[in-house]
A and B are shown apart, each in its own frame.
Chain A
Amino acid sequence: MELGLTANDWLLAAPFLWLAGAGVLVLIWDAVRPQPLAEGIVSWIGLGLAAVACLPILEAVRTEPVEAFSGMLSVNVPVIVLAILCLGAAAFCGIVAWRSLLPYEGGRHTTAFWTLLLFSTFGMVLTLWANHMATLFLGVECLSLPLYVLVALRRDQSDSIEAGLKYFLLGAFASGFMAFGMAMVYAATGDMSPAAISAAAEGSSLGVFGVALLLIALLFKVAAVPFHLWVADVYQGAPTPVTALMATGTKAATVAALLRWAPGGELMGPQSWAMLGCLTLLIGNLTALNQSNLKRMLALSGVAHVGILLFAFAARAAAETAEATSQIGDTLGYYLVAYGLAATAAFGALELLERRVGHSESASLQGIARRQPLLAGVLCIALLSLAGFPLTAGFLAKYFVFVEMIRHGLSSWAVIGILLTLFGFAYYLKALVTLFMQEPPEERPSLWRPDWVATMALLVPTVLSVVFGVWPKAIQL
């Protein structure tokens, strides 16, 4: 019996060790001497070290993908970039939550918040890198379980509890689908690696059913139509810093997992993927159009973004060479980074504005730009990037996806996609009009200043959105 770990094992384990180590350290710290500041610093250091530990892996995978733990993990460039994005989103979530969520109920959820944040990030990175169904399932569970609690953390607000309960029940149901599907795929093929998916999809009916169940579970997690119904309520009910984490980290992790674990052309051809994407885009846009709450609007616009991501899946299903497939993988990675940065900035700015007006109804945010020009500016750039305005990362991301579609013979779908995207501009512009061009409600002037640390932190994703939009190569460092 050989228990030794190889150099690759240690290399890939390092980020996990930092994250789990920091989580446990926070727990022990709280047991010995509760100290909110120290716990926060430990968590940030853990997240930072995990991100630093990703850099040597990035160097190692430049040439070819790296496997570790006898095939349990496998990484390439996009998933490492996305892992760093998740770590950044978690750190950002902590910064934004510092003044709002953490002092909540006398600060007695501080330890739980940091631990759950770290473990959830752990799950995101694991989901991104998982190359075996066992690791995938554990990654998705490790990502979701802490989020259920984080979503329901504001327990005196019924919508927070409602969101947590909805997310938990539906998420647990989806996990059941996932485990059942995995069992069937294993029964059909005797394999639990991503290769088993295509083998099962081509093989017996048992395998096909298993793949379908697994697909349903993942589509639920990425919130594709018709499994998107939870999104609006959960995003709205969750504390906004947590919403930012979900929009960025969870979406990145689960979409990347879907890319690895979705069946290829055997079961779902380009047309079915495109159809799914089109439906998701359409329904996401239509529902977002009519929202009076900005948070809800952003949540549903996230559904629309999943639609465009699914278009990239259609292109992948049509791609024939391995090179083309890997290029589509890069495109997806770029899209997720662009969306993640914009969503982080948008939800972060919204959180700070919420503190000013108490909630995120757009009616009370009218003309807020006059009072809070910096925050409104950040929100403006984020919304433009989400809409896909040129000179932002969001524009290039969409552009790349549509280019891939046209390249792989899906031009008609691409045209539909572009039209729907333009249609989506409507609600982003509506929000901008509310923020900038409407008269603010009469109120006494106050000396309210936004939390400057969080505001500075907000500038990072905002600036990056523009930088990557002008110079996309920068994302590969």
Chain B
Amino acid sequence: MATALFYLFGAGALFSAANVVFRRQAVPAAIWLVTCFFFLAGEFLLLGFPFLAAIQIMVYVGAIMVLFLFVIMLLDLQAHQPIQSQFRHSIGGALALVLVALAFVAASGGQALEAENQPAAPEISALVEALFTRYLLPFEVTSVVLVAAIVGALTLGRSPGGSDHPAKS
């Protein structure tokens, strides 16, 4: 049952991901991405990581994709046209896909890829403890990366040539 569901969710995630790529309109593509995240959360749940599933939905679906939709809609106000794509780009994409698939088959030697390392689902307290002891440095550095990203986004987001200053809004 769980295995069947696992493959079902996996297929669903793949189908949604393919739809994200092939939809011509931005909003439906974003919605398919949301669906994809849901299937992934389902996979996490089946693997015994409800915490990860909840975080996946909360962060990606509940926050990030909402902002994506927000931005897409803001842009849609000006231009309501489907994404254009060119035939030669499709060829390049298809070629890359085939190459990666070939590499994958060559690497796997035709066998199913199997993870040899399947850790048991940790308690949240164990997760937190690892985060603040062994993984303390990466955990703290993440904040530096995020601040850098925010500063960068603000810098690029300012209207060019103007003299606005974010501290004096």
- A contact residues vs B (CB 8 Å cutoff): 1-3, 5, 13, 16, 20, 23-24, 27, 30-31, 34, 69-70, 72-73, 105-106, 108-109, 112, 115-116, 119-120, 122-123, 126, 132, 134-135, 138-139, 141-142, 145-146, 148-149, 152-153, 155-156, 164, 186-190, 203-206, 208-209, 212
Given A108-B165, A116-B151, A119-B144, residue A70 in contact with residue B134 (CB < 8 A): yes
- Taking the closest CB of chain B, its distance from the CB of A18, in whole angstroms, is 13
Bound together, the chains give a CA A210 to CA B25 distance in angstroms of 33
Contact B107 A212 (CB under 8 A): yes
Bound together, the chains give a CA A2 to CA B134 distance in angstroms of 10
Bound together, the chains give a CA A218 to CA B147 distance in angstroms of 24
Q: Is the interface of B mostly helix, strand, loop or mixed?
A: helix
Q: Which of B109, B115, B137, B155 contacts A149 (CB 8 A)?
A: B155
Q: Which of B129, B138, B154, B163 contacts A106 (CB 8 A)?
A: B163
Q: Is the interface of A mostly helix, strand, loop or mixed?
A: helix
Q: Which of B114, B135, B158 contacts A206 (CB 8 A)?
A: B114
Bound together, the chains give a CA A209 to CA B149 distance in angstroms of 30
| Interfacial chain B residues near A142, Cβ < 8 Å | 141, 144-145, 148
- Taking the closest CB of chain B, its distance from the CB of A58, in whole angstroms, is 20
Q: List 10 contacting pairs A-B, 8 Å CB cutoff, sorted by A.
A: A69-B136, A108-B165, A112-B152, A116-B152, A119-B144, A135-B137, A145-B145, A149-B151, A186-B117, A190-B117
Minimum CB distance partner of A2 in chain B: B133
Minimum CB distance partner of A73 in chain B: B137
Contact B148 A146 (CB under 8 A): yes
Number of interface residues of B (CB under 8 A): 39
B121 CB within 8 Å of chain A: no
Given A105-B161, A119-B147, A188-B116, residue A72 in contact with residue B137 (CB < 8 A): yes
B156 CB within 8 Å of chain A: yes
Given A156-B161, A204-B116, A206-B114, residue A145 in contact with residue B137 (CB < 8 A): no
Contact A116 B156 (CB under 8 A): no
| Interfacial chain A residues near B152, Cβ < 8 Å | 112, 116, 145-146, 148-149
- B contact residues vs A (CB 8 Å cutoff): 103-104, 107-109, 111, 113-117, 119, 129, 132-138, 141-142, 144-145, 147-149, 151-152, 154-156, 158, 160-161, 163-165, 167
- Taking the closest CB of chain B, its distance from the CB of A7, in whole angstroms, is 15
| Interfacial chain B residues near A106, Cβ < 8 Å | 163
Q: Closest 9 A-B residue pairs measured CB to CB?
A: A190-B117, A149-B152, A187-B115, A119-B148, A112-B155, A134-B138, A69-B137, A205-B108, A209-B107
Since A3-B132, A30-B167 are in contact, a sample of 15 more A-B pairs with Cβ atoms closer than 8 Å, ordered by chain A residue number, is A34-B167, A72-B137, A112-B154, A115-B147, A115-B148, A132-B138, A135-B138, A188-B115, A190-B117, A190-B119, A204-B116, A205-B113, A206-B113, A209-B103, A212-B107
- Taking the closest CB of chain B, its distance from the CB of A143, in whole angstroms, is 10
Bound together, the chains give a CA A13 to CA B109 distance in angstroms of 44
Bound together, the chains give a CA A72 to CA B134 distance in angstroms of 8
Q: Which of B116, B145, B160 contacts A105 (CB 8 A)?
A: B160
Bound together, the chains give a CA A309 to CA B16 distance in angstroms of 43
Bound together, the chains give a CA A69 to CA B134 distance in angstroms of 7
Bound together, the chains give a CA A31 to CA B166 distance in angstroms of 8
| Interfacial chain B residues near A108, Cβ < 8 Å | 158, 163-165
Q: Which of B116, B161, B167 contacts A31 (CB 8 A)?
A: B167
Minimum CB distance partner of B151 in chain A: A115
- Taking the closest CB of chain A, its distance from the CB of B143, in whole angstroms, is 9
